[in-house]
Amino acid sequence: MLDLFESQWLGGSVHLKNRIVMPPMTRTRTSDGDIPNALMATYYGQRATAGLIVAEVADVAPSSNGYARTPGIYNEAQVAGWRLVTDAVHRRGGTIFSQIWHVGRMAHPSLMPDGEAPWGVTEAQAVNSDVFAHDAEGKLGYMRAGKPRQLETQEVSALIGTFAQAFANARQAGFDGVELHAANGYLFEQFLNSVLNTRTDRYGGGTVENRTRFLLEAIDAAVRELGPGRVGVRLSPFGYFNSMPEDPQAEETLLFLAQELGRRGVAYMHIVYELMPVGNMESAEFKKMHVDHAVLARVRSAFPGKIIWCGGFVSREQAQEALDTGLVDLIAFGRPYIANPDLAERLRQGWPLAVADRSSYYTRRGELGFTDFPAYEADSAAA
């Protein structure tokens, strides 16, 4: 039987001290220029007792900026900022991966270089989904994603080079590995969805080989840079966040990916489980969704690497129940990590969990609601 607190080999030379994952959570505390900073280093360092931290998602290029104040990983200043973060985590014995994305159509001209249209798998707009961008007066707020332009075939291939550079940057910044964000309606998932992806080129949605090609080429680039044991991928096969149409081929795509990722020796598949985000980032609300365990069992058989589930886990018992299904190796606790820097110890000891105020999830109020949550022991001593 798997135990939440036993150490776990992830892949390559990466060993985790427990099966607890802090999943990626955007906190919009970057410095101007989308640069990670010392405050973020403190925040991640405080949470280094997780087996694995996956840092908040990082933009692969300026064209990927769908939400103001998310960090980038495409220039030297950003790499130097991330170095502060990885050093802080490593000093405390932790392991940290970088989650890397391109938002694709989930963007807005006000954030795009030269105000150009967002980049899309096709020209189909995400009509019911918001991004955090500038209005006509330059004020930041939530507004509908812009009308995308369809990427040319050679632009898609060129993006692989952009990702390769970001993976090299992640390594230079001291990350232990990378996670490709292929979930929640962003560019990779836009390609994976056979309904949205009506392209007819080699990246087109008509066949499973073609619709997974963009993601798998990016995975290959990551494997070349870091080795397979330092590469993971996040998927949301049951979700439809960001106006993703329901996809009758979702299961075929997922199983094909499981096989192909396994063939490449990829370290882990990180599955967005049971909870799907609704509304925009600010609302930070989640809806229960149906997750088919029979499908997850097939994924398990097809993929020899590790599997992470994330969504709605708030207790040791619940995590143990999931581990006991035999379908999963690591459990991610998202929102609980916001207010409980010492979550691993709290779960182990059965100490109560603090709850964060949602209004502080994404703000620029610096340490408020970010680094000011005490560890339980320190907290009780003060009381």
Ligand X SMILES: Cc1cc2nc3c(=O)[nH]c(=O)nc-3n(C[C@H](O)[C@H](O)[C@H](O)COP(=O)(O)O)c2cc1C
- CA-CA distance, 111 to 331, in Å (whole number)? 34
Provide the minimum distance between the beta carbon of 16 and ligand X in the complex, in angstroms, as a whole number: 18
Provide the minimum distance between the beta carbon of 244 and ligand X in the complex, in angstroms, as a whole number: 14
Give the nearer residue to ligand X in terms of CB position, either 208 or 328: 328
CA-to-CA dists, residue 49 to 64, 267, 281, angstroms: 31, 20, 27
Provide the minimum distance between the beta carbon of 383 and ligand X in the complex, in angstroms, as a whole number: 27
Give the nearer residue to ligand X in terms of CB position, either 208 or 244: 244
Tokens for 62? 């300026």
Q: Do 133 and 70 contact (CB within 8 A), yes or no?
A: no
Tokens for 292? 């088919």
- CA-CA distance, 8 to 330, in Å (whole number)? 9
Cβ partners under 8 Å of residue 221, min gap 6 = 160, 161, 163, 164, 167
Give the nearer residue to ligand X in terms of CB position, either 19 or 234: 234
Instruction: Quickly list DSSP for 27-74.
Output: ---PBTTTB--HHHHHHHHHTTTSSEEEEEEEESSGGG--BTT--B-S
Compute the half-sphere exposure of residue 24: CA atoms within 13 Å on the CB side of its CA.
27
Determine whether 314 is exposed, middle or buried from the number of CB atoms within 10 Å of its CB (0-12, 13-18, 19+).
Answer: middle
- CA-CA distance, 242 to 188, in Å (whole number)? 13
Query: Which residues make up the interface to ligand X (CB under 6 A)?
Result: 23-26, 56-57, 99, 181, 183-184, 234, 272, 275, 284, 286, 310-313, 333-335, 361
- Residues that are catalytic: 186
Provide the minimum distance between the beta carbon of 329 and ligand X in the complex, in angstroms, as a whole number: 17
Give the nearer residue to ligand X in terms of CB position, either 16 or 308: 308
Tokens for 75? 């220039």
Provide the minimum distance between the beta carbon of 274 and ligand X in the complex, in angstroms, as a whole number: 8
